[in-house]
Amino acid sequence: MEKTKVYKDEIEKTKVYKDEIEKSKVYKDEKEKGKVYKDEVENTKKYKDEAEKSKKYKDEIEKGKYKDELEKSKNYKDDNEASKSQAPKKGFVPVDSNCKTLYKTSQVYHSSSGPWSFMLNQVNISNNNNKFYTGQLLKDKEDNYWCWFRWGRVGKVGQFKLSDCSSLSEAKATFCAKFLEKSGNEWEKRHKFHPVKGKYILLDIDFGGESDSEDERSKEEKKDTTPSLLDPSVVNLVETIFDKKILQKSLIEMDYNFEKTPLGGLKKSVINQASIILAKIEKQLKKDHPNKNELLDLSNQFYSFIPHFSGMKALPVIDKMKTVKKKQKMLEELKLMKIANKVISDSDHTENPVDSQYKALGVRISLLPTDSAVYLQIQKYVKNTHGSTHNYKINIRQVFCLTREEDEQRFQHYGQLSNHLLLWHGSRMSNFVGILSEGLRIAPPEAPATGYMFGKGLYFADMVSKSANYCHASEEDPKGLLLLYEVALGNTWNLKESNEQIVSPPSPYHSTKGLGGVAPNPSQNEPEVGNPNCFIPSGKQIQTGIDSELLYNEYIVYNEGQCRMRYLEGLSWRR
């Protein structure tokens, strides 16, 4: 009888439902026969008989779903639509999709302090531990409660347990006890979490940018029915940079376990904390005799904050500067992907999704005609500045004009500096939503200095292939994007050797130039058509005769206002 509680409550306690039943033809027809009201209202005998005869119907009753007359009730339909969502709406934590029993019929319990859901991570390189533990307190529409726990090695589904709880208080007690056992912290104090040695670390995950399956289906429907107002070339560009498969591919290449945390899901504070840990590793490595135990402990901490997939192998100790550089680059790209996820979330889903995403970027994009003078200048720039050491070829597919209002406003002040050059900047395809919407950003003070040859700044090149290397194109995926920035260099501080400690160039300099042994002939620089104060270093390559540790020039500015994005090139690579 308890399994029919939902239906009985609807009949006896919900006037809306009762009105609908009284209005329904089925009820009226059955009432004339003197059967339904007696069977369904007084003792629900009819539904009990039907449930015993039909296993499918019985399963539906047990899950709190209604058949026959209930499906004809408007009140029921409204409720049922809410229960169909496979994941809670934006801003809520989705139910773990591995919980097959309740994934579609329950939701994560929320209290005034937030969602009752945790993701824990623990890495111990010495013991080859790279494991997770996740927990959720689940409830359905009938106020039934469960505790769902899943644990195992990162990258695997692992083991799981679903505990049926008789009340909310029992569910909370079970949930809190497990969190304390695994993390050494009380659930009520999770917002001030303190890592405990030998226990799991809490991953602070932001689910606010995730869209549920209903949203995704809605977007697909709108894509088919609502025509875009944009130029087809711009539509193709927007669809490409917002493609989640591209974002996921980049994460896989970085060994980041995106299946464990939602795309862009780690909060910025967690990424910053991981950056601080890398800075500590860097400091240790600069000592004459680095402490191996300290490096091991710091590596464990880093991997615990930033989940990595390693298969069954132990994660490597971060004990080389090149690894610090690689991991810091990874953190920078995670931040950009987080921005991309937010832009996707902020898009207006009431219009064509591509048009909405384009607006969310906050950049004006237009296709540059192939017969325009500037296009021909850029074509020449690409042809003349491909380094001989880069054994691939680049073809221009398209060139777009860009106008980012924030860049334009900042550049008004620094644009008065002399020596403007149109310079290249390359990055992964997955980073372009973040770059276009937020602009280029200088690494924060807490980040390691390793990897920045001339300190933390914005880096540009006058050789197209030097910047193209940062696009990470491949034979399997031979397409990428390059930016052309107008950079106000002013007086350049010319250096032959790297210096990672530079914060800004000394007076009277405004930028740093790392001198290369090969460079475009500066005497062949030509002014950009329509912008005569900016020059394009598109001359043929020459040997500079400079004894430098750099093969090609690098240009660095230490203020984000000294550059503005001008053009975006769609390129293809081939051997």
Q: List, by residue number, the catalytic residues.
A: 554
Q: Who contacts 449 (Cβ-Cβ below 8 Å, separation ≥6)?
A: 282, 455, 456, 500, 501
CA–CA gap between residue 526 and residue 536 (Å, rounded): 5
Asked if omega into 94 is within 30° of 0 (cis), the reply is no
Residues 498, 502, 504, 505, CA torsion sign: negative
User: Which tokens sit at 50?
Assistant: 């039907």
Strand 563-574's sheet: what is its strand order?
A: 363-367, 393-404, 563-574, 479-488, 420-426, 531-536, 526-528
Question: Tokens 């073809």 label which residue?
Answer: 395
- The strand pair at 129-139 and 107-108 is best described as antiparallel
Question: Tokens 């007359």 label which residue?
Answer: 69
Q: 536 with 529: CB under 8 angstroms? A: no
CA–CA gap between residue 415 and residue 563 (Å, rounded): 8
Q: 46 with 104: CB under 8 angstroms? A: no
* Other beta carbons less than 10 A from residue 173's beta carbon: 13
User: Which tokens sit at 107?
Assistant: 């939701």
* Other beta carbons less than 10 A from residue 474's beta carbon: 11
CA–CA gap between residue 518 and residue 523 (Å, rounded): 14
Q: 21 with 27: CB under 8 angstroms? A: yes
Q: 467 with 426: CB under 8 angstroms? A: yes
CA–CA gap between residue 131 and residue 496 (Å, rounded): 46
Long-range pairs for 174-181: beta carbons < 8 A, 24 or more residues apart: 174/147, 175/116, 175/135, 175/137, 175/147, 178/135, 178/147, 178/149, 179/118, 179/135
User: Which tokens sit at 489?
Assistant: 């260099």
